[in-house]
Structure formats: structure tokens, C-alpha cells
């Protein structure tokens, strides 16, 4: 089966962004889309309002909650719309007159054409709903794991001790991830080693799935 792109799942600090960066380095047509982009933008308020200092992760998780209250898949839809727009501009797609199964089938066919133009790398899958969404759209579910000790060190190095201390590892954007990594990924990469080892693992995935 040819997959339309790659969706990376992993816990905080597992190396999702690092893996995406390696995939982009290995394939010229690869392009990164971050599912947490809207949440990360809101986290910037701590730069101008000290009330939120050290609570950046809390802001991001709360924004994700509020968005999903509107629609569980709205963050996935947002990312897919960005991917879709590139093909729409080139091919002039218009699905406005389609409904139900006809709409879904047209969208999937169009996404397969996008695959010929770019390798879409979606970073930040978190929930069971995210898995089902992207599987249905024909994307490879790629997990990334890391040992707890190394993960904690990397989180502190990246975000600082205060942010890590105030992060909620039991939040619904985190609680599904271990189960997903154990049971629902097409492939899982272990990221306890060097960047070069991560790059080698990424290349093997790209070759195996004809990206």
C-alpha cells in the first residue's frame, strides 16, 4: 500500500520534531505540518504576560481541549486543509457539490495526487481519534519512543524545569500515547541514541514505504 504521508505520534520529549527534521533532510519534497501549531502560538503569551510564565504547556493543553470541544477532529481537519490547499491551487479542485461518500472518495483520490508533489510529515498526533482520522485518510502512523530518564532530561533541556514540573502528563493529549505506541502504529522508532542513529532509522522507514 502507498501511504499519502506520515503522521508522527509520541509523548512529550520523545523527539517528534527531531524525527520530522530528519525526514525533511532525507527527502527534498518533504514538508512538515505541526498539529499543535495553534496551541504553540497561544503559548507565546507568556513573553508579554508574566501571569503565564511557567504555564506554557498548560496553555497549550487547555487550548487543545477547547478546540476539541467544538469538534474532536478539528485540529486534524485544520492540518489536512493546509495539505489539501496546495493541491487545490495546482489542480483547481472543487468538492463543494459533493456530499457523504462521494466527498470522502474524492478527497482521498486528491490526497493521493498530493503525494506525488510532496511528502507530508504531520507532527504531534496524540489521541486515539487522531489515529483513526489519519488512518482513514491513508497516512502511515509512525511512533517514536524514548526511555523515561532520557525523556525527562531532554524536556528539562528544552522547556526548563518549571515548565516540565507544571506539565500534566495525565492530560488527555498524553494519556492515549502509550497505548497507541504499543498497539496502533505501523512502525515505531526508538530514540535513545544519537541524531545519526535517528536519521538511519528514518531512512529505513522511507525506503520500506516507498517515500
What would the pLDDT profile of 41-60 be if each residue is shown by its tens digit? 999 999 999 999 999 989 98
Q: What is the mean pLDDT of residues 178-204?
A: 96
Whether the Cβ atoms of residue 106 and residue 98 lie closer than 8 Å to each other: yes
Number of structural domains the chain divides into: 1
- Per-residue pLDDT of 85-142, as tens digits, reads 999 999 999 999 999 999 999 999 999 999 999 999 999 988 999 999 999 999 999 9
**What is the average pLDDT value for the chain, to the nearest integer?**
91
Distance CA 68, CA 78 (A): 12
The single residue listed with the C-alpha cell 542513529 is 197
| Element spanning 189, H or E | strand 187-190
pLDDT on residue 169:
54
- 163 alpha carbon, distance to own chain's centre: 21
Distances (CA, A) of 153 to 9, 24, 158, 181: 20, 25, 9, 21
Output the domain CATH number for residue 90.
3.40.50.300
Cell 483547481, located at residue: 92
Query: Quick check: helix, strand or coil at residue 160?
Result: coil
Rounded distance, CA 143 to CA 158, Å?
20
The residue segments making up the domain with residue 83 are: 5-208
**pLDDT over 90 (residue 156):** no
Least confident span in 114-123, 165-174, 197-206: 165-174
pTM (2 d.p.): 0.85
Q: For residue 127, what is the DSSP state?
A: S
- Banded pLDDT at 36 (limits 50, 70, 90): confident
The CA–CA distances, whole Å, from 27 to 186, 189, 203 equal 20, 18, 9
Amino acid at each position: 500500500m502507498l501511504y499519502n504521508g506520515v503522521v508522527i505520534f509520541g509523548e512529550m520529549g520523545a523527539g517528534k520534531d527531531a524525527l520530522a527534521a530528519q525526514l525533511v533532510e532525507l527527502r527534498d519534497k518533504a514538508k512538515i505540518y505541526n498539529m499543535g501549531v495553534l496551541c504553540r502560538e497561544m503559548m507565546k503569551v507568556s513573553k508579554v504576560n508574566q501571569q503565564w510564565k511557567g504555564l506554557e504547556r498548560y496553555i497549550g493543553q487547555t487550548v487543545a481541549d477547547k478546540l476539541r470541544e467544538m469538534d474532536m477532529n478539528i485540529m486534524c481537519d485544520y492540518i489536512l486543509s493546509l495539505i489539501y490547499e496546495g493541491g487545490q491551487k495546482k489542480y483547481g479542485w472543487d468538492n463543494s457539490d459533493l456530499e457523504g461518500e462521494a466527498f470522502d472518495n474524492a478527497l482521498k483520490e486528491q490526497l493521493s495526487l498530493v503525494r506525488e508533489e510532496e511528502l507530508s510529515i504531520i507532527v504531534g498526533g496524540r489521541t486515539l481519534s487522531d489515529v483513526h482520522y489519519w488512518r482513514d485518510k491513508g497516512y502511515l502512523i509512525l511512533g517514536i519512543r524514548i526511555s523515561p530518564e532520557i525523556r525527562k532530561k531532554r524536556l528539562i533541556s528544552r522547556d526548563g524545569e518549571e515548565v516540565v514540573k507544571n506539565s500534566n502528563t495525565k492530560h488527555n493529549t498524553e494519556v492515549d500515547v502509550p497505548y497507541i505506541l504499543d498497539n496502533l502504529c505501523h512502525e515505531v522508532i526508538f530514540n535513545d541514541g544519537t541524531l545519526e542513529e535517528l536519521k538511519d532509522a528514518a531512512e529505513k522507514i522511507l525506503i520500506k514505504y516507498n517515500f
